[in-house]
Chains A and B, each alone.
Chain A
Amino acid sequence: MSTAYKTVQDIAGPLMMVEGVSNITYDELCEVELPDGKKRLGKVLEAREGLAVVQLFESTQGAATEGTKVRFLGRTFEIGVSEDILGRMFSGSGTPIDGGPAIVPEKKLDINGFPINPYSREYPADFIQTGISTIDVLNTLVRGQKLPIFSGAGLPHAQLAAQIARQARVLTKEEVETEGKATYDASMEEGKFAVVFAAMGVTFEEAQYFKQEFEKTGALSRAVLFMNTADNPVVERIATPRLALTAAEYLAYEKDYHVTVILTDMTNYCEALREVSAARKEVPGRRGYPGYLYTDLATLYERAGRIRGKAGSITQIPILTMPEDDVTHPIPDLTGYITEGQIRLDRALHQKGIFPPVIPMGSLSRLKGKAQGEGVTRGDHSAMDAQLTAAYARGVEIRELAVILGESSLSETDKMYLTFSNRFEREFIMQDERENRSIFDSLRIGWDLLSELPKSELKRVKPEQVEKYMKSARKNAPALVS
């Protein structure tokens, strides 16, 4: 059917120039047969009359200008999907690697997808309880949100992401109405759940950690894993998140699943992109990354959300490690401009032994407005959020001041802030990796902490809320249970 071209002219990095071709299209998939018979996948980056620039998804090692055959497949990169993908593990380019049978596809989908029409979107507003106080109260996660974790080398982002995937759920109506007194009944929850996990260039151990976590909690049977570990081909990483998101879209919008997508590590993805860009000799933008990095990242991150009239949703939690913890580095910077907030991990908190080291300053959830408050969680939620963050920011400032001037020179109020912020770190931020706090518990801890401060300082919470919640928070503070 299709002709095999033996006209490879140049090979440079992951790129190949094939001459004398006809009837090729941009973004078309092709199969490259190396002289030793090995087959590689590639796609057309530039289609000219009689010339194709092909990017291989795997290494070009062993390729030669003579003896290499290129066959154009007449289609773009597709993935075959059916509900059987649940519980399966695939390579970074979509072939099963768990020893199981091949997937009999219900349909084949282009991995690039199409942009969601903003008019057809539904604004995400369902509160997700992750059981982690700093996220639930201060950086509320919403179903259909894209909320990345900004981490650094050596910080416990994997544990945090696994904890979110393990504990995340929505509150039942009874829980909201009784302010958490009703016991949670899993059968009251509506909908089906799935996790899609894509590893890009992470170590074998880290990928394995996630797999084991899913196994332990029985989540593996409703998870789809795409694994491109550090020793796998670099360029394959460009396809991995797209495969994962296409699978997620299929599950969410055609099979009504609520899908949580974890992408780790976006930094490796961007580096793969830079490698291809450099090989093409494109004009580089900042730090050698291509000028279209923003657009490219957007085509991934924007594939989260909810669609009007569809039951399913895609919640994205990409993880990225900031080189040198620098938030102004192009990768976290551009990510922050696209995603709906970020969970930022802080090395200083981590070194104090606080898990999860989520720092309120610099963390943000842009969608929290609609997912906090009466009827969704509790009436005092958003006021508590503002008050705790403002007070902690002040406390940290005072702590710095105390270092220079000594604690004795602080005013009474300042000292109270100091106590508050120390307790805040130890009691509110810090919790066990297995501890699953309800939002109501988290709010109660918040009120308990605020009682350290004089009432006149509580400008963000309303007096009637102080009246209603603060006393009970102090008096019948039950022992923290996990």
Chain B
Amino acid sequence: MSAQPTIVKVAGPLVVAKGMRTAKMFEVVRVSKEKLVGEVIELHGDRASIQVYEETSGIGPGEPVELTGETLSVELAPGLLTSIYDGIQRPLQLIEEEAKSPFIPRGIYVPGLDRKKKWKFTATAKVGETVQSGDILGTVQETTLIEHKVMVPPGLSGKVESIESGSFTIEETIATVGKDKVCMLQRWPIRIPRPSKGKGIPNKPLQTGTRVLDTLFPVAKGGAGAIPGPFGAGKTVTQQSLAKYCSAQVIVYIGCGERGNEMTEVLSEFPHLQDPNTGEPLMKRTILIANTSNMPVAAREASVYTGITIAEYYRDMGYDVALMADSTSRWAEAMREMSGRLEEMPGEEGYPAYLGSRTAGFYERAGIVDCLGSDDRKGSLTVIGAVSPPGGDFSEPVTQNTLRVTKVFWALDAKLAYKRHFPSINWLQSYSLYAENLNDYYNKEVAEGFSQNRDRARKILQEESKLEEIVRLVGTDALSPKEQLTLETARMIREDFLFQNAFDPADAFTSLRKQFRILRAILLFSDIAEPILQQEDFDFGKLQNLSVKEEIVQCSFIPEEEVDEKFDALEETIRKQVTALQISSATAGTPQESESVAV
């Protein structure tokens, strides 16, 4: 006999109910008279443990639980872009309207997508065609930037019996495939990756406009990267800068357990910021998921899955999608909290033993894929996760598990942030395993010698750290002129190339071409100076006082349109001024042709 499911225990976000024999794992349930949203996460006989996505105070044993038969899913259709959702895809704007209050009460039910809005659907498939899963039936201009492709849902194929262009709501039938009616609205369970035909090797860079990232530690479209760093080192600024300027077409930004004001900042800023590629407001390509740190902890666990499922949906249309999750540590902590309440055996630092597999499962949803459908389109999903290690200690479990599955590591360094060096990405600790794969692209598409210059820059920075130790022990005087030049060049690379002001509109975004030219100018300076330093009694101060150095400092502000012209002129000045030192300091001899940098 099956009794009416009722609550037997409430402890924070964990509720245990009996009479749950028919419940399935991960089924969505409505808890108590207030109908709070919950998800079944454990079953013991007729008892089920439920994680509740809303505040549970005032709920007690004896109250009813309602089964819905569904698993936690997101709604997919036009209208997703420009939205801001909570962790379980409830639009925050609608919550405000419904609640008539700036606070989030509980038990509020609002649909993820507008049911009444009519969209202009243009059919591209024709009656009589045979279509398969993933084939495009038609399109909807969702925002000025993105054309939404309405696809045959996974698992469905057959002959198009009827299809029509026109204005439809997302629930109205737009086509009949075989015997099935298809509307624009689809659902997909958030914990299951959306299918594709297969994955490829990422070999194109996701341009970010941030010099230290693009030049030294590039991430590929379809790659996965991690940004760990202590608080105050600039994780959020870096993530937001990526969301603003990276070359993806669709951005999903998940604020997972972070500050409320940060989401407000994105919300107030993005509608006014222009997409550098199209000039349209950035919001038109962005979807925000916000579970701030004071919102219910269980919904935090769900928020990253909600976000990545929406991201995969746009990937399936053939777009390059980038997902930023800030911060995955809060997600891991939410898992730890639920695990603790379930009284599971803890793994490292109290985290559940499945932390590693869940982390891997999440990042593996990134990739460049052959989308379902017969038109051979490719889509990519790049995932960048911020990690907030306690005390900035990278040896903790979340950082370590993340590094095992991501190929890009941007290590944020509090010491750099203290010196106001931004982005405070440590150039000695960070790495990118995509650099090799991307060399071809860089050398062909941007400039011959790009990778060669990068390797040189990295080597100079490495040497600098060694030399600095010597300086600390015995002072600068003990260094040879050549070593002094290395220090000087490294300083220029750090201060004039790697340093970038994300808040200065002229400096925040740098094209790959310009990045190449800045770095080349610095290396050229070093190359020409080197033979000149070899002269006897050369006064190193003279080199430091050259006026061209001032120009190098300012060169990151050269407008993108005049890059080649202005940098040619700059290089000319460098040649002139540095070579002039030779004539004046060594009375005899003529200027020598210096070893040339890669052009």
Contact = CB atoms under 8 A, between A and B. Distances in A.
Interface in A297-326: 298-299, 301-303, 305, 307-310
A49 B47 CA distance: 13
B420 A393 contact: yes
Interface in B360-404: 388, 390-393
Interface stretch (B111-119, B146-154, B469-477): B469-477
Given A26-B11, A121-B261, A328 B340 contact: no
Interface string A18-62: 000011111110000000000000000111111000000000000
Interface stretch (A178-186, A282-290, A432-440): A282-290
Interface stretch (B179-187, B288-296, B573-581): B288-296
Interface string B1-17: 00000001111100000
A390 B419 contact: yes
Contact of A328 (B84, B263, B346, B391): B391
A441 interface: no
Nearest to A295: B297
A221 interface: no
Interface in A252-302: 253, 282-286, 291-292, 294-295, 298-299, 301-302
Given A25-B60, A362-B418, A117 B294 contact: no
A286 to B, nearest CB: 6
Interface residues of B, number: 75
A451 interface: no
B61 interface: yes
Contacts of B232: 336, 341-342, 362, 364, 366
B62 interface: yes
Given A113-B103, A409-B475, A291 B295 contact: no
Which bracket fits the contact residues of A? 35 or more
Contact of B472 (A124, A294, A404): A404
Contacts of A389: 418-420
A115 interface: yes
A119 B392 contact: no
Contact of B346 (A283, A329, A337): A283
Contacts of B460: none
B390 A122 contact: no
B340 A282 contact: yes
A283 B350 contact: yes
A285 B420 contact: no
Interface string B235-277: 0000000000000000000010101110111011000000000
B495 interface: yes
B481 to A, nearest CB: 15
A402 B104 CA distance: 57
A367 interface: yes
B349 A367 contact: no
Contact of B293 (A117, A338, A362, A369): A338
Contacts, number: 214
A117 B268 contact: no
A328 B92 contact: no
A337 B472 contact: no
B553 interface: yes
Contacts of B545: 456
A302 B257 CA distance: 11
Nearest to B6: A49
Interface in B1-41: 8-12
Contacts of A49: 8-9, 61-62
A394 interface: yes
A114 B472 contact: no
A26 B92 contact: no
A367 B333 contact: no
Contacts of A104: none
B57 A76 contact: yes
A25 B58 contact: yes
A257 to B, nearest CB: 16
B102 interface: yes
A47 B346 contact: no
Contacts of A469: none
21 contacts: A48-B9, A76-B57, A112-B57, A115-B294, A119-B92, A119-B264, A119-B290, A121-B260, A283-B346, A298-B294, A299-B294, A302-B293, A303-B294, A305-B261, A329-B391, A333-B390, A336-B230, A340-B261, A362-B418, A364-B417, A389-B419
The 6 closest A-B pairs by CB, nearest first: A328-B391, A27-B57, A298-B293, A25-B60, A120-B102, A302-B294
Given A114-B103, A409-B477, 12 more contacts: A27-B56, A47-B10, A48-B61, A49-B61, A119-B267, A121-B264, A123-B268, A292-B340, A330-B390, A360-B418, A361-B419, A390-B419
